[in-house]
A and B are shown apart, each in its own frame.
Chain A
């Protein structure tokens, strides 16, 4: 009896066992499939997609243009040209002579630009190009196009933050180094290396901890799958399962490629360095394909403990680790003993912590934002887009350099501006635009992209302060003219029940000033008087045409730039003045090609007239006074002797310093300030203006030196120097020439001098002597 029950129980038990085994198996399979899908999703994106490329704009060279030869040389080098010290140049080489530059241009086949190679000679007189000659055809060229520069390679929209590498571009020595360092039998095991495991198990047993990983590359990858590290058995088992799945989904080369792009290799401030493409740039300033053998060993050695073995942290420890890797490479037969010895003797030359950086990173972010708005991620994730942009690398480099130097100079001059933590440091931003077309030539969204990726040009909202005044004046020109006088003595206004009294920056100032003077010397009191007399409502209405993305309110403080704006909007608005009253849309993308060379997007000048050429000219004229004898006259001492219009801006408590300066050909906006609104103890002229000056000095090619054109509807009149009314030849002593709208020319002849009798003139003379 008992036996049969036992037997039945036994059978039942077996059935249950079988059943639960099947259930477990099914569950396990489902889980595995689920995991596989997630892993494939997670890692697939970065597999050998044909990368998308981003290019700068082509460079145009023509006779009559000034050139910064130093910058041109660096550009040629960036484009892969080699410098020779003789004139016997071949394709892809150049020679810099005293008064000539010879370049043998390469064959270029790009979707947007095709050119067969030919040698060209550029002749100079001082720094001006006098001739551009095609040496093959012995023909003078009216202009020459230099091919665009490759700015970035990226795989899809999120990947552009990393310099992702394809297995085809990775040097063999790096692969050997990594395998030697981490997983010698990578190509032969099945995800887990039993020999390695046993060794690790033994070591763990010895030290009574789960210390050593014994991890294969696959296992390391699977660890990467989780966001937080854990050292429990369940986690270990999960990782094991994932390793197996990875090995099942991808082949060895694919796994290696994923690994080399995923692995954590250090820290650049708040930004993690993931992948060897980034690491090559960060530590050695090189593309991965340019790494030397011992540099590969350095990087491979970092994997175990990047922040310990980093050459930026401890160069000796780094060297020891490198030598250990080199030794392993020798033991594994990848390198000979001779190579081992010579490599170990080489010094480790890093790029230097500061010089790391992608090209125009803020501009890239802005670009990718635009692309994401244009295309679904399926298109972007796919391969082979070629994107031609408006960026000019020379201008970008000049802007970045000017900003960096300017901020440092400021910190040295005013030590209280120094900050220990990089994130809290004094910040700045620069944007350079071609006013007519709206082309963005350069964009620097901050001092150091590695520290802060916040793009202050496109995303910061800051008070413009006096940099906003030209827009107030534009409104006023419908009613008043440049000689109209306004009160510059203390006036109070009732605002929402309380009293508001604007103050001038300087202690001493004239009691009455003309519109022109109010702007050039930036008198707050007079500008508010002007604004109130023009009508705040009218001003706000007129402002709407400029398409600022931030709101304005009908309060007198609007005239003093109290309402925050985005720097990009401010720059765009200023572009109206040198463009005959035309507002253009900012352009960054010119053309996008798909992998088959078909154009899928093309952007052009998009303009609309929002004010007249005449009123724009008057603003240009008044802003030229700012530079000639106003708050920006410092530019003259810096050697700027061509027509520049500009406006400085300083906000309350010096929280912001602005300078927006332009010629008929180019406009640049500079902002300086702290992200947290601390005072910078400086003005627009002391903080922002020098940065503008440095930048423009480096890019003479963009400055034609021509004056602002006077449109047809402008009338010139002589104005009495004293009364600012029409000059009376018989009565007034001295005059100045002023400009007016034809519909707004003053008709009132100078009353001051005409009415003066001889007695009054005598009193005047005595007054003069006494003063």
Chain B
């Protein structure tokens, strides 16, 4: 009985209860960090599951469309689609990679280099795509020196 009367125990159970209910709500909390100061609110926001994932999916679908156009040689159309896809998700590395491809094909090595640089920032290290990005980098360099 003494244990139950102890306020700490009550607090502990309340704490547990709150955690349990939060877990049951089904909505993951997302928090992000701010640097440089103590006691700044670290914001938490309830978002639907996979919100970012859905954005990525939409973006990737557009990327696929662009890829198809690229294969058909419709460079201008492909570029427009990749640019649209960037607006949905700017962290989709594929867009930058394919944009670099398109501009390379169109003979603009300088712009290709810019997009390749961005692609390198957003592809997963060690992935197949990152290898392609690396190869692309050398191709662009080669192209540039040839142009000069």
Where the two chains meet, the residues of A that have a C-beta atom closer than 8 Å to any C-beta of B are: 60, 62-65, 125, 128, 130, 142-143, 434, 436-437, 439, 482, 514, 516, 580, 582, 590-591, 599, 602, 604-609, 613, 621-622, 624-625, 628-629, 636, 641-643, 664-665, 704-707, 709, 711-712, 716, 721, 734-739
Contacts and interface: CB of A to CB of B under 8 A. Distances in A.
Contact of A721 (B32, B38, B57, B84): B38
A604 B83 contact: yes
A604 B79 contact: yes
Contact of A142 (B58, B99, B111): B58
A434 B87 contact: yes
B53 interface: yes
A608 to B, nearest CB: 6
B35 A739 contact: yes
A482 B121 contact: no
Contacts of B121: 580, 613, 711-712
Contact of A128 (B30, B48, B83): B48
Given A582-B114, A642-B45, A738 B35 contact: yes
A607 B111 contact: yes
List the 3 shortest-distance A-B pairs measured between CB atoms, nearest first.
A64-B54, A62-B58, A142-B61
B118 A706 contact: no
Interface size class of B (residues with CB under 8 A): 35 or more
Interface string B7-41: 00000000000000000000000101111111011
Contacts of B54: 62-65
B72 to A, nearest CB: 16
Contact of A629 (B40, B44, B84, B87): B40
A64 B117 contact: no
Contacts of B117: 609
Contact of A439 (B52, B87, B90): B87
A392 B89 CA distance: 18
Main secondary structure of the interface of B (DSSP, over half): helix
Contacts of A128: 47-48, 51
A602 B52 contact: no
Contacts of B80: 590-591, 602, 604
B38 A736 contact: yes
Contacts of A142: 57-58, 61
A436 B90 contact: yes
B129 interface: no
Contacts of A599: 76
Nearest to B125: A712
B63 to A, nearest CB: 11
Contacts of B51: 64, 128, 705
Contacts of B84: 60
Contacts of A624: 34-35
A156 B29 CA distance: 55
Contacts of A62: 54-55, 58, 88
B36 A621 contact: yes
A65 B55 contact: yes
A716 to B, nearest CB: 7
B50 interface: yes
Contacts of B58: 60, 62-64, 142-143
Contacts of A712: 121
Contacts of A63: 54, 57-58
B26 to A, nearest CB: 11
Contact of A709 (B45, B53, B55, B91): B91
A110 to B, nearest CB: 14
Nearest to A129: B54
B86 interface: yes
A716 B111 CA distance: 32
Given A64-B52, A128-B51, A711-B121, A143 B37 contact: no
A437 B88 contact: no
Contacts of B79: 604-605
21 contacts: A62-B55, A64-B55, A482-B36, A514-B36, A580-B118, A582-B114, A602-B80, A604-B79, A605-B99, A606-B111, A609-B114, A621-B34, A628-B34, A628-B40, A629-B40, A642-B45, A704-B89, A706-B52, A736-B35, A737-B36, A739-B36
Scoring A63, A64, A629, A642 by chain B CB atoms within 10 A of each residue's CB, the highest score goes to: A64
A705 B87 contact: no
A400 B131 CA distance: 47
B62 interface: yes
Interface string B113-130: 011011001000000000
Contacts of B62: 143
B87 A60 contact: yes
Given A439-B87, A607-B114, A628-B40, 9 more contacts: A62-B58, A64-B48, A64-B50, A590-B80, A621-B36, A625-B36, A641-B43, A705-B47, A707-B33
Interface in B99-148: 99, 111, 114-115, 117-118, 121
A636 B83 contact: no
Nearest to A613: B121
Nearest to A739: B35
A737 B33 contact: yes
A604 B117 CA distance: 18
A736 B45 contact: no
A609 B110 CA distance: 11
B55 A734 contact: no
B48 A734 contact: no
Contacts of A591: 80
A582 B57 contact: no
